[in-house]
Amino acid sequence: MTRFLLPGAVLLSAALWLYATTTALPLAQWPFLRPVPLWHSETMDSAQILFAYGTLPRAVVAILAGAVLGLAGALMQAVLRNPLADPTTLGTAAGAQLALVAATIFAPGLLANGNAVVALSGAGLATGLVLALGAQRGFAPVTVTIAGMLIGLLASAIATAITLSQGHYLLSLVIWNGGALTQQDWVGVRHLAMVLIVALILAGLLARPLMVLSLGQAGARGLGLRTAPLRLATLTLAVLLSATVSAEVGLVGFVGLAAPAIVRRLGARSLLQRLLGAPVAGAVILSLCDNSLQAIAAAGGPDWPTGALTGLIGGPLLIWLLPGMRAQVPPGTEESDTSIRRTLTPARSLGLLTLALCAVFIAALFLGRGPTGWGVLAPELRETFLGLRATVLVAAVAAGALLATSGAVLQRLTANPMAAPEVLGVTGGAALGYAATVFALATPNALALAIGTSVGGALALAGLSAYALRTDMSPARILLAGLAIGALASAMLAAIMTADDPRAWLVLGWLAGSAAQVTPVGAAALAALAVAALIATVLMAGWLEILPLGQAVAAALGLPVGRVRLALIALAGLATGAATLLIGPVSFVGLMAPHIARSLGLVRPIPFVIGSWLLGAILMAIAAFGARSAAYPYDLPLGLFATLIGAPWLFVTLLRRRSA
Amino acid sequence: MTPTPQGFQTQNLTHRVPGRNLLEDLSVQIQPGVVTALIGRNGSGKSTLLKHLSGQLRPSNGTVHFQDRAIHDWPPRALARTLAYLPQTPPPAEGMQLTELVALGRYPWRGTLGRLGTADHAVIDDALRQCGIDHLRDRLVETLSGGERQRGWIAMMLAQQAQWLLLDEPISALDVAHQVEVLALVQRMCRDKGLSAVVVLHDVNMAARYCDQVIALGQGKLVLQGPISTLMTAEALARVYGLPMHVSHDGPQAFALPR
């Protein structure tokens, strides 16, 4: 059966392409089927010009871009010995996208000579960051992938923020986010073909040393291979390939992941077979995706960008690949760090944190920027402003505490300090729910939005739980499944955004996180939820102590592991969903707060949970204050501000924890 | 051999993974009150059998009974009060003091919300003393040496007050002195306190010195079962390891070396 998979896909793709093209231009009028003169635009009518300079190069670009991505994925997977590596999962593509968005806005001059250089530097920077993080864990596949997708998330968040701050004229970029393959001439074809040919030759040269590298670092050194230059050269080539595609056609996700996986499935054993087979598979995948979408559009359906479709395929693909990963993880590399300090006086630390929270809260309530500059809120203004400020602050503090609780639970549950609700996919699902509500109802009110968001979050959680129940639920893999769900959600969001609908801006605004519409009732409800979550978590502290010791030990101690994990995931999901409604899907508070708690030496479950809760609240209080004051008189989006505080801190800590 | 209502009984136990059977039609009995060694070559199914005995795996075929009850019919906490299991590589107990690790052994008795009483603390102290690690009680587990950490985990099993100890290669990462310490402890618990133990071992001489019974596996099938003395013959060892071995005796103690 598998023998006919690839030829079948080629035939199907060709048929779809013919259908789409002949709908636009009947076969009889194809320019090159007629006698001379062939390619003179003077003799062609507009439909024929469109065919010769739009349709035809688009088909070739799909094939070439797919091949380039397939090769990039195969190279990355070979050099990192990680079957989950690909330009999407390593953050490469998102880095290129962010660089292009930033350059378009802040330094359009840089793009005068084409955008390849800008895309390349963004891609290289993001990949380098991910690998620097991964190096501390011996490049353990799942950890590297989690770091990569986190950085990808962050890059997209910042790109969204920039888009948002600039209004409509970036709509074309939003479309570009979705990876549209539309062409106006043959320049893109020439670029991609050149890059592909050179890269194939280089890949052929790299194949032998890469095969030696597959023995592992120590084994390769034993055979006299200098691993560092080889790794650097291969990764540079792969990043170059990915950046070229980003520059030419935009964000086309997961082709680099799918192509080598399919080639492996079809029986390519040797590395050379995989390096040569992956481009073929990639070309088939991308052109099949593109031709399907063209056929849909030709049949009168909506015109979606191709990248959105590959994104839709990517999430499920990742989940499908995960179970087979078991044997390929180097032992010990996915354990958490063991070198942590532990405070002897957790009660005192918690007391100080409580005081700090009160101080920050009061300061944020009364201090601020007004028409007359910085100062304490004047007494006569208090009646008007205190209530408003208090509402936003309470909501923000509660949301921060909820996210932090969720993060603390997830980090204990998975024994992985990279775990966070942002990674769980719940926020992505909630975002989809919000978007769906905005588009489904003519005038959505707050309650409808709340329900829609919660349902979206719950569905993402249900999908994750179904996956988790089916497999034996290794923690790191749950995280990756969560990330896959998140990727799926953002691909669908990208598709929604390209609809060029004013409602898309409503969703985009929410994605950056805004606390402006919070009502006092909503804030109070959120606060009650935060307190309830804290109590529930403290009651579950016994579980949180045993679970990091792993399934075998937990089961041997009589813990009903499956049910306990589900209960904790449900708690984390609910807390995240509620908080997400207010501050948008990305904030990194859920990742940061538990991290800080650990670095303060709050290691035991109960102090850890309470400390994380307090720190999450403090962080969001600061974010709320900053969002209100930084650009006075305008309110910046709350979630965005939290992200911008959180991201640099995150990288500094993660990079610092270098272990030998 | 007569059936042993107080011990383990597997009936045609089979564990299939794609491509092969890790265990095939295995029917064994394990008696209480003694130390039973599980031996065999790498990949012979020792660890898989131990995981089945502790109820972590579902048989593809056949049954596992513990004290006349199917292992999966035991409620998790009741099972944990009777049966303690130590995995091959104990996880890092991050940020935990040794006493806190040992105190986890009280979970099956106290549950999530129960607080530890004086009786519990007496049990924990006793377990620490039994394992000779009383002086390390306030140390963080990750700062202990391999032998100390292993004894810490065994202390946790003792604090569980289970009648049965299942240990998966408890000595493979230890030096000879610590190997002796750990196995002597297990033997003493069985002799003096009437506990029962099943221990996966690679070293036949250690098995001969510290175990009473032996179950030898080869490619998922039973090769031999009986008192440890039945293993310590050149013929039996050749069947288990496929290697000519020389067995000599020093008093009652037999030891084997490859020829």
DSSP state, residue A37: P
Tokens of A625: 């204050």
Q: Is the pLDDT of residue A228 over 50?
A: yes
A557 and B80: CB-CB below 8 Å?
A: yes
Question: Could you report the per-residue pLDDT of A289-325, keeping only the tens digit for each?
Answer: 889 888 888 887 777 778 777 877 777 777 777 665 5
CA A3/CA B247 separation, integer angstroms: 56
Would you tell me which residues 174-233 of chain B have a C-beta closer than 8 angstroms to some C-beta of chain A?
none
B116 close contact with A: CB closer than 8 A = no
With contact defined as beta carbons under 8 Å apart, do B32 and B196 qualify?
Answer: yes
Would you tell me which residues 339-368 of chain A have a C-beta closer than 8 angstroms to some C-beta of chain B?
339-340, 342
Residues of B in contact with A602 (CB under 8 A): none
- How buried is residue B142: exposed, middle or buried, by Cβ count under 10 Å (0-12/13-18/19+)? middle
The predicted structure's pLDDT at residue A85: 83
Residue B93 identity (one-letter amino acid): A
- How buried is residue A179: exposed, middle or buried, by Cβ count under 10 Å (0-12/13-18/19+)? buried
Q: Is the pLDDT of residue A338 over 60?
A: no
With contact defined as beta carbons under 8 Å apart, do A565 and A413 qualify?
Answer: yes
Most A-contacting residue of B52, B89, B107 (CB-CB within 10 A), to test interface: B107
Total-model pTM: 0.76
Q: Please name which of A460, A434, A461 lies closest in space to residue A448, comparing C-alpha atoms.
A: A434
Which helix (H) or strand (E) segment holds residue B12: the answer is: strand B8-17
For chain A, the straight-line distance linking the first and the last C-alpha, in angstroms and rounded, comes to 49
Name the band, by pLDDT with cuts 50, 70 and 90, for residue B123.
very high
Q: Is the pLDDT of residue A482 over 80?
A: no
Closest residue in A to B110 (Cα) is A542
Question: Could you report the per-residue pLDDT of B171-214, keeping only the tens digit for each?
Answer: 887 888 889 988 999 999 899 888 999 999 988 899 999 999 99
CA A179/CA A489 separation, integer angstroms: 16
Q: Cβ–Cβ contacts within 10 Å for residue A270, how many?
A: 11
Q: Is the pLDDT of residue A217 over 80?
A: no
Q: Alpha carbon of B146 to those of A137, B9, B167, B170: distances in Å?
A: 22, 33, 16, 11
Q: Is the pLDDT of residue A368 over 60?
A: yes
Q: Whole-number mean pLDDT of chain B?
A: 88
ipTM of the complex: 0.82
Q: Cβ–Cβ contacts within 10 Å for residue A146, how many?
A: 27
Q: What is the 3-state secondary structure (H, E, C) of A640-655?
A: HHHHHHHHHHHHHHHH
Q: Please name which of B198, B117, B211 lies closest in space to residue B162, comparing C-alpha atoms.
A: B198
Would you tell me which residues 453-512 of chain A have a C-beta closer than 8 angstroms to some C-beta of chain B?
none
More confident call, B93 vs B73: B73
Peptide bond into A605 cis (omega under 30): no
Q: Cβ–Cβ contacts within 10 Å for residue A184, how many?
A: 11
Bridge-based pairing of strands B29-30 and B8-17 is antiparallel
- How buried is residue A200: exposed, middle or buried, by Cβ count under 10 Å (0-12/13-18/19+)? middle
Residues of A in contact with B90 (CB under 8 A): 549, 553
CA A295/CA A298 separation, integer angstroms: 5
Give A466's contacts (C-beta < 8 A, 6+ positions apart): none
The predicted structure's pLDDT at residue B164: 93
CA B30/CA B200 separation, integer angstroms: 13
The predicted structure's pLDDT at residue A564: 87
Q: Is the pLDDT of residue A48 over 60?
A: yes
Give residue for tokens 């003077």: A42
Q: Which of A257-271, A473-487, A554-568, B76-90 has the lowest mean pLDDT?
A: A473-487
Percent of chain A with pLDDT over 90: 14
Q: Residues A254-272: what's their mean pLDDT?
A: 83
A556 and B105: CB-CB below 8 Å?
A: no
More confident call, B13 vs A381: B13
More confident call, A473 vs A628: A628
Q: Please name which of A318, A320, A397 lies closest in space to residue A358, comparing C-alpha atoms.
A: A397
Most B-contacting residue of A137, A553, A563, A571 (CB-CB within 10 A), to test interface: A553
Positive or negative, the CA dihedral A147, A148, A154, A157 is negative
Own/partner pairs, A467-471, CB within 8 angstroms, 24+ separation: A467/A319, A468/A565, A468/A566, A468/A569, A469/A562, A469/A566, A471/A322, A471/A323
Closest CA–CA distance from residue A536 to any residue of chain B (Å): 11
Q: Which of A550, A552, A558 has its CB closest to that of B80?
A: A558
With contact defined as beta carbons under 8 Å apart, do A643 and A583 qualify?
Answer: no
Q: Cβ–Cβ contacts within 10 Å for residue A172, how many?
A: 12
Q: Please name which of A654, A660, A575 lies closest in space to residue A617, comparing C-alpha atoms.
A: A575
With contact defined as beta carbons under 8 Å apart, do B21 and B15 qualify?
Answer: yes
Q: Please name which of A91, A483, A82 lies closest in space to residue A316, comparing C-alpha atoms.
A: A483
CA A235/CA B227 separation, integer angstroms: 59
B225 has which bridge partners?
B215
Q: Is the pLDDT of residue A189 over 70?
A: yes
Percent of chain A with pLDDT over 70: 79
B104 and A557: CB-CB below 8 Å?
A: yes
More confident call, A123 vs A181: A123
Would you tell me which residues 512-541 of chain A have a C-beta closer than 8 angstroms to some C-beta of chain B?
539-541
Residues of A in contact with B100 (CB under 8 A): 545, 604
With contact defined as beta carbons under 8 Å apart, do A409 and A558 qualify?
Answer: no
Closest CA–CA distance from residue A427 to any residue of chain B (Å): 29
Q: What is the crossing angle of helices A56-80 and A187-213, to 10°?
A: 20
Give B176's contacts (C-beta < 8 A, 6+ positions apart): none
Q: Is the pLDDT of residue A476 over 70?
A: no
The predicted structure's pLDDT at residue A633: 65
Q: Alpha carbon of A454 to those of A451, A553, A556, A580: distances in Å?
A: 5, 34, 36, 9
Bridge-based pairing of strands B29-30 and B253-258 is unpaired
Q: Is A566 helix (H, G, I), strand (E, B) or coil?
A: helix
More confident call, A106 vs A480: A106
- The segment with the largest mean pLDDT, out of A33-47, A331-345, A595-609, is A595-609
Q: Which of A339, A540, A553 has its CB closest to that of B112?
A: A540
Residue pairs spanning A and B at CB distance below 8 A: 80
Give B248's contacts (C-beta < 8 A, 6+ positions apart): B254, B255, B257
CA A98/CA A107 separation, integer angstroms: 13
The predicted structure's pLDDT at residue A330: 42
Q: Please name which of B253, B167, B230 lies closest in space to residue B202, comparing C-alpha atoms.
A: B167
Tokens of A616: 């999450």
B94 and A557: CB-CB below 8 Å?
A: no
Q: Is B217 helix (H, G, I), strand (E, B) or coil?
A: strand
Positive or negative, the CA dihedral A588, A589, A591, A597 is positive
B90 and A543: CB-CB below 8 Å?
A: no
With contact defined as beta carbons under 8 Å apart, do A148 and A90 qualify?
Answer: yes
The predicted structure's pLDDT at residue B186: 92
B200 has which bridge partners?
B38, B168
Would you tell me which residues 52-111 of chain B have a C-beta closer than 8 angstroms to some C-beta of chain A?
54-56, 76-81, 83-87, 90-96, 100, 104-105, 107-108, 111
Closest CA–CA distance from residue A274 to any residue of chain B (Å): 24
With contact defined as beta carbons under 8 Å apart, do B222 and B237 qualify?
Answer: no
Distance from chain centroid for Cα A4: 34
Q: Is B74 left (phi over 0), alpha (psi -120 to 50) or beta?
A: beta
Most A-contacting residue of B112, B142, B165 (CB-CB within 10 A), to test interface: B112
Distance from chain centroid for Cα B232: 20
CA A106/CA A234 separation, integer angstroms: 32
Report the length, in residues, of chain A.
Answer: 660
Question: Could you report the per-residue pLDDT of A130-148, keeping only the tens digit for each?
Answer: 888 777 666 666 677 777 8
Residue B72 CB-half CA count within 13 A: 10
Q: Cβ–Cβ contacts within 10 Å for residue A615, how many?
A: 26
B94 and A550: CB-CB below 8 Å?
A: no
B224 has which bridge partners?
B216
Cα angle: A604, vertex A605, A607; to 5 degrees: 70
CA B252/CA B235 separation, integer angstroms: 19
Name the band, by pLDDT with cuts 50, 70 and 90, for residue A400.
very high
